[in-house]
A and B are shown apart, each in its own frame.
Chain A
Amino acid sequence: MNVEPRPLLNVRNLRKYFPVRSDRLMGPRLLVQAVDDVNFAIAEGETLGIVGESGCGKSTTARLLMHLIAPDAGEVWLGGKRLGGPDGLTLRQLRRSMQMVFQDSYASLNPRLSVQDSIAFSPRAHGVPAPQAIDKARELLALVGLDPDQFGRRYPHELSGGQRQRINVARALALEPKLVILDEAVSALDKSIEAQVLNLLMDLKRELRLTYLFISHDLNVVQYVSDHVLVMYLGKVVELGTVDDIYHRPRHPYTQALLASRPSMDPDVKIEQSPLAGDPPNPINPPSGCRFRTRCAFAEGVCEKVEPALTGIGRGHAVACHMRIPASGHTAGR
């Protein structure tokens, strides 16, 4: 079973339903099925990319992993240990080995703290005395390519978006984590700056032997950075595989549609009509059976009645579609 190197992160049956008020007065309590029964693992030193349309639960997954919000169900194993229990991880230990870079580079920095103080906050919270924490912060500034003398005492508003995101990366690295979650960490940046920060991230990963969970809706970027890719749709994992599997042998209709609809890198190729017309359905009342069936060209009776399980179809490649499950009842069979 375990053909992969030992997984650093192992996520089992993760689930989060957000209660929301219905529009009607005294209406029933509704649940947004943001993350539903998500399973995956990341091997040490690898990058797992997560892609999917807006609202499919990528950020919620990240926040669940960091335990910034409590999961309704599921387990998160980090380095063979899970949170709680007598020999489990404490929340502090977990957050020490797992760090996160947020999408909004400005909002995620305290406007009233100089950037070196912002970076030094984490080590100080873990008991490092102030002078050493500041030294560490200045080292980290240099590590992310910012001159500490020039930038250390600046405030977030005195930096460009790219510089701010470097600060956020430095802060995430301050606790020397093993795993870094990058939630749309470069999405808000200009293309040229994005490339610079991406290269920095790749360099840091090599030098510090980091493991990344890279969340993005940009398929090209994910292809560039990832070893494995996970495709999410309405809170569910629909396909999981190596970059090669996902980008060259996609087996789920949703993955295929996503790839077909991505803007071509070649400006001469006209963007064809996206096969992914319309918006994803409401996560409050997702379609029965296969959640993608309302937009799937191959949907059949069985897709409405039975939920397709994530099924292995090759080494490390799994897909949740009845067409790929033998004897599922779908006419396309396998």
Chain B
Amino acid sequence: MKPAGTDKIMLPFGADSGRPTAVEVPVGSVVQRTYWENVWRRVTRDPFTVACALVLMAIAAAALLAPWLGLPEPTLTDSARRLLPVGSPGHILGTDELGRDMLSRIIHGGRLSLMMGIVPVLIALMIGGSAGLIAGFVGGRVNMLIMRVTDVFYAFPSILLAVAIAGALGAGIGNALLAITIVFIPPITRVTESVTTQVRSMDFVEAARASGAGTLAIIRTHVLGNVLGPIFVYATVLISVSIVISAGLSFIGLGASPPAAEWGLMLNTLRESIFLAPLNAILPGFMIFITSMCFNLISDGLRSAMDVRL
């Protein structure tokens, strides 16, 4: 046995290469971390990802606490003070075309917009994720059936499909949520299926089967851990897409309806004032851009943090 405290690591050089063939490295003093602890460490050391996370947390916290921030009512109109520019006293971000406080509307709008970004992805993740997991792990005919059904949805671009479904269901937040959820189920199913199929064919899953373990135990211990990471990364990207689509639906009148504060809807109602108060008009668009961008960048950060195989 090697002396405690050091471990010999063999290097891939032959004895005749003139290079050391092994190195002694200290062990024991080295903290042993689990895979997810390592991922967490790498994510928290990536300044971009951390910055994006902070921005998102600030937006989310403001949105959640909106009623208690002492802001004016987001639906309170004031026809005397319409389209005040950014920086006006009492209205730091100005007012909109009906004289409503922009800051209050942006912050309150975050509630709906974030909710419409996250909820469809979560629901689609549960449905599509399970379907993909089953398709990938069971394989055969079950796989064929599930994947052919998802293929049907692939014939349409996601935005068009969302518009078509929301249009058929009628305007309203609930219908918009439903439409976006339906749009996201097929891609999540497909990604989960392909990752699961990949993991399932790995030797360690075969080894687990050889141990006589049941299917559920194998999925829980050996498949999920290797599948969840990539799926999670993908879901974060989808949140950014979802925010854009839901804003788009509201913009064309299929999502939130006036006078509710929602970024997509605000973008729509302010669009006629773009020359009178350009800053006010692009603010909701800016928020949509920032949040969806942050989710995207976080997804990238997660991906690279989880990719490291050493």
Cβ of A149: which chain B residues have Cβ within 8 Å of it? 4, 28
- B209, B212, B213, B226: the one contacting A110 at CB < 8 Å is B226
- How far, in whole Å, are A20 and B21 apart by their CA atoms in the complex? 45
**Knowing A107-B203, A150-B27 touch, does A112 contact B211 (C-beta < 8 A)?**
no
A-side interface residues, number (CB < 8 Å): 40
A92 interface residue, CB < 8 Å from B? yes
The reply to whether A150 and B28 contact each other, CB–CB distance below 8 Å, is yes
- Given A114-B34, A154-B32, do A99 and B210 touch, yes or no (CB 8 Å)? yes
Residues in chain A near residue B80, CB distance under 8 A: none
- A207 CB to nearest chain B CB (Å): 18
The residue on A at minimum CB distance from B212 is: A95
A95–B221 contact, CB under 8 A?
A: no
Task: Tell yes or no: A332 within 8 A of B by CB.
Answer: no
Report Cα–Cα, A121/B211, bound state, in Å: 8
Least Cβ–Cβ distance between A28 and chain B, in angstroms: 21
Given the known inter-chain contacts A95-B212, A113-B221, please indicate yes or no for A150 contacting B4, CB distance below 8 A.
Answer: yes
- Asked if A155 is at the interface of the complex by the 8 Å CB criterion, the answer is yes
- Contact mask A82-125 → B, CB, 8 Å, 1/0? 00000000011111100110101001111111100010011011
Q: Is B204 an interface residue (CB 8 A)?
A: yes
In the complex the two chains form, what is the Cα distance from A157 to B9 in whole Å?
12
- In the complex, are the beta carbons of A160 and B208 less than 8 A apart? no
B155 at the A/B interface (Cβ < 8 Å)? no
**How long is the Cα–Cα vector from A125 to B203 in the complex, in angstroms?**
18
Q: Does B286 make an interface contact (CB < 8 A)?
A: no
Once bound together, how far apart are the Cα atoms of A290 and B209, in whole Å? Answer: 36
Please state if A125 and B217 are interface contacts (CB–CB under 8 Å): yes
Residue numbers in A under 8 Å from B211 (CB-CB): 95, 99, 121-122, 125, 171, 174-175
Say if the beta carbon of B19 comes within 8 Å of chain A: no
* Interface presence of B258 (CB below 8 A): no
Interface flag for B10 (CB, 8 Å)? yes
- Which residues from chain B contact A147 at a C-beta distance below 8 Å? 1-2, 4
Instruction: Tell me, rounded to whole Å, the shortest Cβ–Cβ distance linking A60 to chain B.
Output: 13
Q: Which residues of A contact B2 (CB under 8 A)?
A: 147, 150
Do A96 and B212 form a contact, CB below 8 Å, given A107-B203, A150-B28, A160-B9? yes
Across chains A and B, the number of contacting residue pairs, with CB separation under 8 Å, is 89
Distance, CA A103 to CA B86, complexed state (A): 68
User: Size range of the interface on B?
Assistant: 20 to 34
Contact of B204 among A109, A122, A125, A158 (CB under 8 A): A109
- Chain A contacts for B9, CB-based, 8 A: 160
B223 CB, nearest partner CB in chain A, Å: 10
Given contacts A114-B34, A150-B7, A154-B32, contact A108 B207 (CB under 8 A): yes
- Asked if A6 is at the interface of the complex by the 8 Å CB criterion, the answer is no
A153 part of interface (Cβ distance < 8 Å) = yes
The chain B residue with its CB closest to the CB of A105 is B203
Those of A140-191 within 8 Å (CB) of chain B: 145, 147, 149-150, 153-155, 157-158, 160, 168, 171, 174-175
Contact A157 B207 (CB under 8 A): no
> Which residues B7-22 have CB closer than 8 A to chain A?
7, 9-10
B174 proximal to A (CB < 8 A): no
Question: Of the candidates A93, A96, A102, A160, which one forms a contact with B207 in the assembled complex, judged by CB atoms under 8 Å apart?
Answer: A102
Closest residue of chain A to B7 (Cβ to Cβ) is A150
Q: List the B residue with the shortest CB-CB distance to A190.
A: B10
Q: How far is the CB of B101 from chain A (nearest CB, A)?
A: 50
> Counting CB contacts under 8 A, is B170 at the interface?
no
Q: Which residue of B lies closest to A152 (CB)?
A: B32
Contact A157 B310 (CB under 8 A): yes
Instruction: Kindly list chain B residues whose C-beta atoms are within 8 Å of the C-beta of A113.
Output: 221-222, 225
Give A113 to B34 CA distance when docked, in angstroms.
8
CA distance A206 to B4 in the complex (A): 29
Q: 12 more A-B contacts (CB under 8 A) besides A108-B207, A114-B32, A125-B208? A: A68-B206, A68-B209, A95-B210, A102-B203, A110-B221, A121-B211, A121-B221, A124-B217, A125-B212, A125-B213, A149-B4, A157-B309
